[in-house]
Amino acid sequence: MADDLKFIKASKKGDYKSIYEHNLDVFSDSPDFEWTFEDIKKEVQDGWELFSVMSGQIIIAALFFRQDDDCLLTKNTALKMDFQGAGHSHRIKEFFEEVARERGLARVYHYCGIDNFRMYSLNESHGYKKTDRKLGPGGTVVEWMKPLK
């Protein structure tokens, strides 16, 4: 059940390592994110906040967000396969929007792989609109934006 999720901020390198090791087998081939310990540390050094998404004692996804002026920039790994289809992705979207509202931000941007059609559908169902920006090597990362009211 999606309501059972906990979002735990990673606050030290040991937390980063734990998230990395718990998800290595699941996310190492994710097209949306380079899943190496060095890449994770670099993301955090670049100002991204790292959270684990927990269902009980199991890390089922990792997410990143960073404030940029009046916007919240967001991205996340895929959910572990056994946890897909239970509403957890919707709860992650709601979490991002809650953070943005608590900070009084005007917009949320989300980034995903150009071929991640499940995320396209999820973004659209939450009122995000795809922008014209393509990022990453070869323009393979798509930017989505949702204004907050």
- What kind and span of H or E run contains 101? helix 88-102
CB 88 within 8 A of CB 53: yes
Least confident of 76-90, 96-110, 114-128: 76-90
Q: From CA 48, how far away is CA 19, in angstroms rounded? A: 15
For residue 20, pLDDT over 70 is answered with no
Q: From CA 89, how far away is CA 79, in angstroms rounded? A: 8
108 or 21, which is more confident: 108
Arithmetic mean of pLDDT, 105-116: 92
Percent of the chain past pLDDT 70, that is, above it, reads 82
Computed over every residue of the chain, the mean pLDDT equals: 83
pTM over 0.85? The answer is: no
Q: From CA 108, how far away is CA 113, in angstroms rounded? A: 17
Question: 59: pLDDT confidence band, cut at 50, 70 and 90?
Answer: confident
Q: Which domains can be identified in the chain, with CATH numbers?
A: 2-147 (3.40.630.30)
What is the per-residue pLDDT for 28? 42
For residue 13, pLDDT over 70 is answered with no
CB 39 within 8 A of CB 73: no
